[in-house]
Amino acid sequence: MATAISVRNLRKVYPGQPPVVALADASIDIKDNEFFTLLGPSGCGKTTLLRMIAGFEHPTAGSLTMHGENLLDLPPYKRPVNTVFQSYALFPHLTVAQNIGFGLEMLGKPKAEIRQTVDEMMALVKMTEMADRQTGQISGGQQQRVALARALAPKPRVLLLDEPLSALDFKLRKDMQLELKRLQKETGITFVFVTHDQEEALTMSDRIAVMSAGEIRQIGNPRQIYDQPAERFVADFIGDTNFLPAEVIDTKGQTVTIRLSSGKEIAARAAEGGSHKGKVTLAVRPEHANIGPEADGLLGGTLGEVVYFGTDTHYHVALEDGTGFVVRQQNRPDAAAQFSTGDRVGVHFAPGIGQVLKD
Amino acid sequence: MADLSSAAETQASRRRWLLLAPALFILVFAAAGPLLITLVYSFLTPGDYGGVEWQASWQAWFNVFMERDIFDDTLGWSDAHLSIFWRSVKLSLMTTVLCLFFGFPTAYFIATRPKKQRDLWMLLIIIPFWTNLLIRTFAVVELIRAEGTVNTLLIWLGIIDSPIHMLFTEFSILLGMVYVYLPLMVLPLYASMERLDFSLVEAGYDLYATRLKVLRRVILPLVKPGVIAGSILVFVPSLGAYVTPRVMGGGNQLMIGNLIELQFGQGRNWPLGAALSITLLAIVMVALMAYVRAAGNQEPHRV
Amino acid sequence: MSKAFNISRQNGFTTIAITCFVLLYLPIVLLVVYSFNSGPSVAIWEGFSWRWYQSAWENDQVQEATVRSLVIALWASAISTTCAVLAALATTRTRKFKGQGAVFAMINQPLMVPEIVTAVALLIFFAMIKVSTGYTGLAYLIVAHSAFCIPFAYLPIRARLQGMDLSLEQAAADLYATPFKVFRRVTLPQLWPGILAGAMLAFVISLDDVVITEFVKSAGQDTLPTYMLGQLRRVVTPEVNAISTVLFGISVTFVIAFTVLGKIKN
């Protein structure tokens, strides 16, 4: 697939005492027809990057091209990208239909074509009945759809979405996630989606860039991001993770053999780009570990709290070396509760399932 | 690599000053510029028929507070000017205090009405505020002059035989100024009282404060910025008042504003008029700076 | 049964407030009432008539002054509002810029400097120009009024702009609107209540001005307020009441319109 947007060493520094680095030399290639998500906590630079692609922020240094064309020389109104704003930014003095047709009108499209496209767009987002409503008279979810239709109407090659679902309640957000994914597939437009919601990112994206403190920490598909986090920040930000101290004793390509604090040895995956020598941190997801008799375990400890969650149960284990470890086990009707608080237990996980982090 | 955003910023800055140009031009031409010329004029010699001679002189500034005796040429304080300054300051302070006395309960009354009624009550304050100052002064004149409503009524009731002389006194100027500037006190007071969190008042009562103590220890400190703003808003225009003392004072109870005008009319002493203007401006600026400082000190206490 | 404790009550406050409202409106009400008096007194009521309105209407000086006041107010509000819109666009929704404090001080200067001081300064400055150019027309008054109207026009426009969502303009630019089109199609339609409010405020302020006009005007350039000021020196007839009532009516209308405009949501 061809590259739609190419970001090279993009940097944004706000002057001040001290200067604020909003984005530190970010580089990404976003492909055609891709649902690409920028994920990170607030202030990580994801929105700054999005606004630079849209043209509302100007980088301090770096380059930004779209299908080989330099975007930085173009003002926002000449960039073939459209944005769905976090606040929707619907024009309050225009109706729903006028809002959707605004971009086409600005492009100087013939009236008939505008009308036709607006009708198509309203059908696409199921807002046909609301055409002549004022934007203040429709619900939040409907405003969301109008904002989406307005941005899609000029048929941009890339659609930018700035936390578009954050103002919706839980149920509506779930519906809109599916809806957005559907629209992206149907239209074939590249979506660049900004969110701080890891679950949203995992369910919708083709690829995710995890950002923190103005830097891109890892780029990959949802499975890679979740199963093979490159570093502690990514492992911690997305889902729950146990971190274990370990020592590398042997390396074979991406597979390493490590020694745990209990002295037992096991194979693990190594994150790309790390040195993997000496003392390292091993990340193990709670649902990838099992709890059993102490003798069978890789690590021994005392069972602390046992928290029942309906679908699964969380076992909090205090390991010998003092670190805490959580095991999440699915509840099955046939399995009786085997352990209770205060029992000596063993924690076990399969070879190759733990991830040795970069840092 | 060159800073890509600096070019964009230069362009934005150029656009900003271009947009500001018309307003700044008019303000320099018809407000700030003439003030500088006035300053220059205060250091010149008066012309015989008004205007100035282009000859540097400290005389005008000297004459603001001092005078040379016509007969024995001795130096002394200018009693006429000092009494006018004193009257201006005295009447302005009294106006401020009286406006506060009437304005505070009024603003409080409005702020404690149900939300929907408040705008209507405020409209009653705003209407006089936007009504011509001259008309409002004239309305008070009609009330208190010899053949005015009050005297006619009192004579008709048989309480007095001949009209009470009220117009053209310091009292009438004070009455006129309080009447005219009262809305200026109520507006900022109301603005700060409207934001008052009445759960704080409840807390005060809960902690055994009486009504008066709640007023003094809870409400007053919280609306202090409004009190200061209102007082300055009344004091500053009172000090520079021209129309009200002219109409209500009738030419024998001068305030600074009228003294200044006199120098450009009968007095034919433009430099003195200019020096008096700059003096008035300086007093006002000191008052405004005191206000800014007081408002600034309030800042950390605000929520 | 005992009375409920009203936490917002303060002894005597309501009495003072009501007294205040009565005193505030009593003179104005009397002024309006006596403008309809058929007799020449402003104290003794002799019956209803339009007599004084008619005499004011037929008074050439009043007619001229009225037209002059309106001409000046229209020009001044048009000029000051235009300047204020541009200045507001330059100074709102931007990061702190160099010279910002000086710009605000300039714009607000007419609000801080006593009117009499500005009036005297303009008298001196315009006298210089009058002598050197020989021109003595209305332009002096129009320029002077425009200057002191700028802050009044600026405040509501600025308030409106500050309340406006910046992302609306960004959305328009994102949808291919050029900067000019963004202004015309998005900024202006939302700004107009502020602009109208500013223009009205400027108009009323110009119409009401006494002090600066009194000092700047050349011979025979009386506006309605300066004409009235001159009349107050002589025997006052209810004709002045009639003129005042009309001006008061204009103020009330404008204030109400202004309040309504302020309520229009962003």
What CATH number is attached to the domain comprising C206? 1.10.3720.10
All residues of chain C having their beta carbon less than 8 Å from the beta carbon of residue B236 are 112, 114
* Beta carbons of A10 and A49 less than 8 angstroms apart: yes
DSSP string, B28-91: IIIIIHHHHHHHHHTTSEEPBTBSEES---SHHHHHHHEEE-TTT--EEE-HHHHHHHHHHHHH
Q: Is there a single domain that holds both residue C25 and residue C72?
A: no
Q: Is there a single domain that holds both residue C73 and residue C144?
A: yes
Residue C109 has pLDDT above 50, yes or no: yes
Residue B40, token pair as written in the block: 């220059």
Q: Is there a single domain that holds both residue C115 and residue C30?
A: no
Q: Which amino acid would we find at residue B212?
A: L
Dist. CA B222–CA B238, nearest whole Å: 26
Give all domains of chain A, ordered by start, each with its CATH number.
3-227 (3.40.50.300), 240-356 (2.40.50.140)
- Give a yes or no: residue C247 inside a domain: yes
Distance from CA of B114 to the nearest CA of A (A): 27
Parts of chain B with a pLDDT under 70: 1-5, 295-303
- Nearest chain A residue to B3, by CA: A60
Q: Is there a single domain that holds both residue C18 and residue C77?
A: no
Q: Which amino acid would we find at residue B62?
A: F
Dist. CA C183–CA B141, nearest whole Å: 50
The predicted pLDDT at position A337 comes to 63
Residue A179 burial (CB count, 10 A): 18
Dist. CA B274–CA B270, nearest whole Å: 6
Residue C260 has pLDDT above 70, yes or no: yes
pLDDT tens per residue, range B101-110: 999 999 999 9
Rg (CA), chain C: 23
The predicted pLDDT at position C265 comes to 60
Dist. CA C200–CA C260, nearest whole Å: 12
Instruction: Sheet with A61-66: list strands edge to edge.
Output: A20-31, A3-14, A61-66, A69-70
Q: Which amino acid would we find at residue A243?
A: F
Sign of CA dihedral B242, B247, B252, B253: negative
CATH superfamily of B79-301: MetI-like (1.10.3720.10)
A15–chain B Cβ distance below 8 A for any pair: no
pLDDT tens per residue, range A104-139: 988 889 999 999 999 999 988 888 888 899 888 898
Q: Phi, psi at residue C54, to the nearest 5°?
A: -65, -45
Against chain A, the chains showing at least 3 CB pairs within 8 Å are B, C
The predicted pLDDT at position A65 comes to 92
- Give a yes or no: residue C2 inside a domain: no
Q: Is there a single domain that holds both residue C225 and residue C178?
A: yes
- Nearest chain A residue to B7, by CA: A58
CB contact under 8 A, A60 and B5: yes
The predicted pLDDT at position B298 comes to 53
In 3D, which of B65, B92, B91, B90 has the Cα closest to residue B79? Answer: B65
Which A-chain residues 185-214 have CB contacts (< 8 A) with chain B? none
For residue A81, the cross-strand partners are: A158
Question: For testing the chain B interface, which of A56, A58, A72, A73 should be mutated: the one with the most B CBs within 10 Å?
Answer: A58
Cα angle: B42, vertex B47, B51; to 5 degrees: 65
- CA distances, C195 to each of A65, C170, C189 (Å): 41, 22, 10
For residue A5, the cross-strand partners are: A30, A66
The predicted pLDDT at position B4 comes to 58
All residues of chain A having their beta carbon less than 8 Å from the beta carbon of residue C186 are 91
Cis peptide before A18 (omega within 30 of 0): yes
* Beta carbons of C238 and C38 less than 8 angstroms apart: no
- CA distances, B174 to each of A221, B56, B114, B181 (Å): 80, 39, 34, 10
- Shortest CB distance from C17 goes to which of B19, B30, B106? B106
Dist. CA B14–CA B3, nearest whole Å: 18
Distance from CA of A323 to the nearest CA of B (A): 43
A→C contacts (Cβ < 8 Å), by residue, are: 54-56, 75-79, 81-83, 85-87, 89-93, 102-103, 106-107, 136, 150-151, 154
pLDDT tens per residue, range A301-313: 888 888 888 888 8
Which C-chain residues 221-240 have CB contacts (< 8 A) with chain B? 225, 228-229, 232, 236, 240
pLDDT above 90: percentage of residues in chain A: 33
* Beta carbons of C237 and B108 less than 8 angstroms apart: no
Which contacts of A23-29 are long-range, i.e. CB under 8 A and separated by 24 or more positions? A23/A48, A23/A49, A23/A52, A23/A59, A23/A214, A24/A213, A24/A214, A24/A215, A25/A62, A25/A215, A26/A62, A26/A211, A26/A214, A26/A215, A26/A216, A27/A216, A28/A209, A28/A216, A28/A219, A29/A3, A29/A5
Number of helical (H) and strand (E) elements in chain C, helices listed first: 12, 0
- Say how many domains are in chain C: 2
Q: Which domain holds residue C24?
A: 13-49
Q: Which segments of B112-169 does DSSP mark as H helices, in order?
A: 115-129, 133-144, 149-156
User: What is the pLDDT averaged over residues A173-177?
Assistant: 88
Q: Is there a single domain that holds both residue C164 and residue C108?
A: yes
All residues of chain C having their beta carbon less than 8 Å from the beta carbon of residue A192 are none
The predicted pLDDT at position B287 comes to 85
Residue B198 burial (CB count, 10 A): 13
Q: At what angle do helices C100-112 and B4-27 cross, to 10 degrees?
A: 20
- Give a yes or no: residue C55 inside a domain: no
CB contact under 8 A, B130 and C248: no
In 3D, which of B65, A103, B198, A109 has the Cα closest to residue C7? Answer: B198
- Give a yes or no: residue C152 inside a domain: yes
- Give a yes or no: residue C31 inside a domain: yes
DSSP string, B3-23: -HHHHHHHHHHHHHHHHHHHH
- Shortest CB distance from C170 goes to which of A56, A136, A150? A56
**For all residues of chain A together, what is the average pLDDT?**
88
- CA distances, C246 to each of B62, C52, C53, C56, C57 (Å): 47, 12, 9, 11, 11
Q: Is there a single domain that holds both residue C170 and residue C143?
A: yes
Q: Which residue ranges make up each domain of chain B? A: 79-301
CB contact under 8 A, B127 and C12: no
Sign of CA dihedral A31, A33, A39, A43: positive
The predicted pLDDT at position B292 comes to 78
CB contact under 8 A, B139 and C31: yes
| Confidence category of residue A1, pLDDT binned at 50, 70, 90 | low
CB contact under 8 A, C176 and A56: no
In 3D, which of A72, A195, A88, A180 has the Cα closest to residue A136? Answer: A88
All residues of chain C having their beta carbon less than 8 Å from the beta carbon of residue B148 are 42-43
The predicted pLDDT at position B299 comes to 46
Q: Is there a single domain that holds both residue C44 and residue C102?
A: no
Against chain C, the chains showing at least 3 CB pairs within 8 Å are A, B
The predicted pLDDT at position C139 comes to 94
Dist. CA A321–CA C116, nearest whole Å: 84
Q: Is there a single domain that holds both residue C104 and residue C175?
A: yes
All residues of chain A having their beta carbon less than 8 Å from the beta carbon of residue B1 are 61-62
- Give a yes or no: residue C248 inside a domain: yes
Residue C1 has pLDDT above 60, yes or no: no
Residue A344, token pair as written in the block: 């000596």
User: What is the pLDDT averaged over residues A41-49?
Assistant: 90
The predicted pLDDT at position C68 comes to 95
Dist. CA B172–CA B149, nearest whole Å: 15
Cα angle: A240, vertex A243, A245; to 5 degrees: 175
Q: Is there a single domain that holds both residue C116 and residue C160?
A: yes
Element (H, E) at A30: strand A20-31
The predicted pLDDT at position B150 comes to 86
Element (H, E) at A4: strand A3-14
Q: Is there a single domain that holds both residue C34 and residue C126?
A: no
pLDDT tens per residue, range C31-76: 999 899 888 887 788 889 999 999 989 999 999 999 999 999 999 9
Cα angle: B287, vertex C213, C104; to 5 degrees: 45
- Give a yes or no: residue C190 inside a domain: yes
The predicted pLDDT at position B87 comes to 92
The predicted pLDDT at position B163 comes to 86
Q: Is there a single domain that holds both residue C254 and residue C205?
A: yes
- Give a yes or no: residue C226 inside a domain: yes
Residue C136 burial (CB count, 10 A): 15
Distance from CA of A54 to the nearest CA of C (A): 7
Dist. CA B64–CA A266, nearest whole Å: 97
CA A132 to chain centre: 36
